[in-house]
Chains A and B, each alone.
Chain A
């Protein structure tokens, strides 16, 4: 057997893969056919936030569909009720999210026609979405979304999951996508540390606070949002709520001039 200092023979490097992927796109471009892949998101939704509490899960997203820096659609819903145990929230390309919603709707109908009362709980939906997203990334034709799955499992335990466009997925006590991962996630982690046994009502108030801060700092966000709640018995999404904002505080911070 080789000595201890022998490295593996053909250790692949990330840079090799980057070259390979670049070659792939060059070939794609030279085909001079209409593009059929999502190469970049067009109409986008910003942060989705989720938090797990003692008696349920809360998920929130604003209602803006941005077209680059243009606030193009101001009344779109980025939360979807899948069934009584699950709500999903979509970040990224809105067209791709609509496609995912269509897939899930059809899936739910297919399950219902069997008529045995069997439905999918949040972990199953999370896992299913991961398979869909990972398969699309492996075909180099991604669905440009990060999805937050909020709900409960068959045992009735709260469940909160995250899955992105390349199939990275995990569950946690709190999740945030996009800009929210820089601003809201630290706020949520701190709040959960101070109050580990949060109730749904407290979590809702926390969400509103996080979304408000995001509205102040994230230029692709809106102060109009929906909050979804999954409890022991049901799941529901609120009508859009408008947050009161106070821009007079903008004059207070100093030292950045």
Chain B
């Protein structure tokens, strides 16, 4: 049969919206490691475009009794990824008879993310907790599993607003007369709270509430504070 319509008419002219399998659902995580504790803060807003899908979605998960995981980005992948991780954590516990350490969890998360290198989980992750030596630890990731241990990090939609502030307040970058004092739980918690209040002023994807967890040898203490809800 002769082809009547040839080149130039390959696609239907009315097909405009092509399926895109990701969404940007916003959210910000901040984590800080102290000497024998660490702090994680995350907002509870879930957005899509200019809409707020929900004002009360927790994006920080308790993985072990001394390890938290914060994940923001595409919420569909967040849910799938955390489900995968929960299963892996459970398997590890049944095999080895103990909880995974933060260092092990960090490496496991990296491998899980890299497994999907060519169709990535669009998730920005942060692992925070207490390491094998009882010190506070923070690990930050990119969506394909590249990771690094750090003392402080902001990731997610307001990361570009928050990270410079952390560099100044906690990293004492380029301050010749800086006199770094050791971090206390209260100072970090107040700072994280203020940081989120500030970020929610300028980033529309951050707001509603901030959930701040302090992890130390005694366990995890979580508190919530209100943020701008517009």
Chain A residues packing against B (C-beta within 8 Å): 1-2, 4, 8-12, 14, 17-18, 21-22, 25, 29-30, 37-40, 130, 134, 137-138, 140, 142, 162, 166-172, 181-182, 185
Contact = CB atoms under 8 A, between A and B. Distances in A.
25 contacts: A4-B171, A4-B173, A9-B146, A10-B144, A11-B146, A12-B143, A25-B19, A29-B11, A30-B10, A38-B19, A39-B15, A130-B79, A134-B79, A137-B76, A162-B53, A162-B54, A166-B21, A166-B22, A166-B76, A167-B80, A168-B53, A168-B76, A169-B79, A170-B57, A172-B53
A138 B169 CA distance: 42
Given A140-B19, A142-B19, A168-B23, A1 B149 contact: yes
B19 A39 contact: yes
B64 interface: no
Contacts of B53: 162, 168, 170, 172, 181
Nearest to B120: A12
Interface residues of B, number: 40
A25 B157 CA distance: 29
A140 B54 CA distance: 26
B46 interface: yes
**Which of A1, A8, A134 has the most C-beta atoms of chain B within 10 angstroms of its own C-beta?**
A8
Nearest to B48: A168
A131 to B, nearest CB: 9
B148 A2 contact: yes
Interface of B: 10-11, 15, 17-25, 46, 48, 51, 53-57, 74-77, 79-80, 119-120, 122, 141-144, 146, 148-150, 167, 171, 173
A18 B122 CA distance: 12
B148 A8 contact: yes
Contact of A18 (B20, B143, B171): B20
Most chain-A Cβ atoms within 10 A of its Cβ — which of B11, B122, B167, B171?
Answer: B11
Q: Which 3 A-B pairs have the closest CB atoms?
A: A167-B76, A8-B142, A8-B146
A162 B146 CA distance: 32
A30 B10 CA distance: 8
A30 B158 CA distance: 40
A25 B15 CA distance: 12
Contact of B22 (A2, A14, A40, A182): A14
Given A12-B144, A134-B76, A167-B80, 17 more contacts: A8-B146, A10-B146, A14-B22, A17-B122, A21-B18, A37-B19, A130-B79, A137-B21, A140-B19, A166-B23, A168-B23, A168-B46, A169-B75, A169-B76, A170-B53, A170-B54, A171-B54
A40 B122 CA distance: 23
Contacts of B142: 8, 10-12
A128 B25 CA distance: 21
B80 A134 contact: yes
Contacts of A134: 76, 79-80
Given A40-B15, A168-B53, A170-B57, A140 B21 contact: yes
Nearest to B16: A40
B146 to A, nearest CB: 4
Given A21-B18, A25-B18, A167-B80, A181 B23 contact: no
B124 to A, nearest CB: 10
A21 B148 contact: no
A257 B101 CA distance: 66
A172 B20 CA distance: 25
Contact of A21 (B17, B21, B25, B167): B21
B75 A168 contact: yes
Nearest to B166: A4
Contacts of A39: 15, 18-19
Nearest to B77: A167
A130 B75 CA distance: 12
